[in-house]
Structure 1
Amino acid sequence: MTTSLTTDTNLMTLRAYLDLVGHPADQSAFWSADALATALDQLPPGEARAIVLTSNARSAHGEIAPGLSLVVQDVRPGQQSPSHRHSFWHLYIVQAGRGVAHIEASGGERAIAAGDVIFVPPFHSHGFDNRAGTESLILITLQNMPQLAQLGCFMREGERGSWHLVHTPGEPPAAGLKGALSPTGTTTR
């Protein structure tokens, strides 16, 4: 319960503050390969082929751990993810398939395959190409996007190199977290 000390609602006791910022304890989570594949296959046409994995205690913020999100991305044969830049970093693990990574920090194109690990620093252009592939290129991505959104500095490059702030604290994300996959394997919509 939040208790203000005076009629000024910008003041509260330490106990009220601790109650406000507290959250349920993290719990272990498991997602089966079948549940992940099904969730990717059920994405509507035109939707980015990526799902966010969240822990039950952190699902409202799209987090797997404090300030971090975990994403599974499927770049299908004949497809590519367009190069883009933003203010958060990625750590990619190539789970399956082969393709080409376009990473500004590594000097251009690089062939990638299952087992490869790629770090993309903030503000570095990156994208993945599977147009020559015969199987899906599956990428597992750990990133600090939730941290930057909470700090109010989540930025994304727009058209013609302009930058815009995506989310500021206190404002809900515009699209919500539809499509996040809970540890039980159910998708929120």
Structure 2
Amino acid sequence: MQIAQGDILDFSAYLEQTARPSQEAVVWKWHDVAASLASRPHNVQGTLVLADGEAVDRATIAPGLSLVVQVLKAGETTKPHRHSFWHLYIVRAGAGEVSLGAELRRQRVAEGDVLFVPAWHTHAVHNLEGEVPLVLLRLQNLPQNASLGTLAREDDGHLKHIYANEHVAAV
């Protein structure tokens, strides 16, 4: 591996390079989101990300934050896992349960509920009732962790650091 030579900048040049344009307000209409959900491949971990196409980091809604639309169809569940970023869940539709902590304590959630899961807190989401999909809006600081190089996830006791270049490091 070759080590790159660093640049030395004047402080004023540094300030110019770190300046960002001010962000404009953005709206996502739910009927557009729902139509996109119907036409995209289903994934229990998340189907859509609402993104500001004009932002410096296009996959975010604000610096360091992303908003995922996660849908679990009736009978679906995610595996217990934990990771280096937090989630703020808002239940948009349906009902289900969330398993939390090392003991996987079950907590029922329904439309309108809000749940915060801290970083490194084990969790899983379940839609084990009825025929109505469980639709969650999930605000998270995953992009912040990715930009700092601290994005990591643990599944089944296996910790993996996540990089865009997967060959760089995997634990």
Question: Closer, same or farther in 2 for the Cα pair 1:173/1:126, shift >3 Å?
Answer: farther
Amino acid in the other structure paired with 2:84 = S
Q: SS of 1:56's equivalent?
A: coil
Give the 5 Å matches for 1:96-107: 96-104=93-101
Q: SS of 1:57's equivalent?
A: coil
Amino acid in the other structure paired with 2:162 = V
Establish whether residue 38 from structure 1 lines up as the match of residue 38 from structure 2.
no
Match for residue 95 of structure 1 among 92, 116, 119: 92
Give the superposition deviation at 1:50: 2.3
Contact 1:24 1:57 in 2 (8 A): no
Q: Which has the higher helix share?
A: 1
TM-score of the superposition, structure 2-length normalised?
0.83
Match for residue 120 of structure 1 among 103, 108, 117: 117
Question: Closer, same or farther in 2 for the Cα pair 1:125/1:135, shift >3 Å?
Answer: same
CA distance in 2, matches of 1:47, 1:113: 17
Residue deviations 1:167-187 (CA, integer Å, cap 9, x gap): 3xxxx577xxxxxxxxxxxxx
Residue deviations 1:85-109 (CA, integer Å, cap 9, x gap): 1011111111110111111178611
Establish whether residue 56 from structure 1 lines up as the match of residue 86 from structure 2.
no
- Identity score, percent: 37
CA distance in 1, matches of 2:78, 2:94: 15
Amino acid in the other structure paired with 1:69 = S
Give the superposition deviation at 1:59: 6.1
Q: Aligned residue for 1:165?
A: 161
- Unmatched runs of 5 consecutive residues or more in structure 1: 1-7, 175-189
Match for residue 140 of structure 1 among 137, 142, 154: 137
TM-score of the superposition, structure 1-length normalised?
0.75
Amino acid in the other structure paired with 2:107 = R
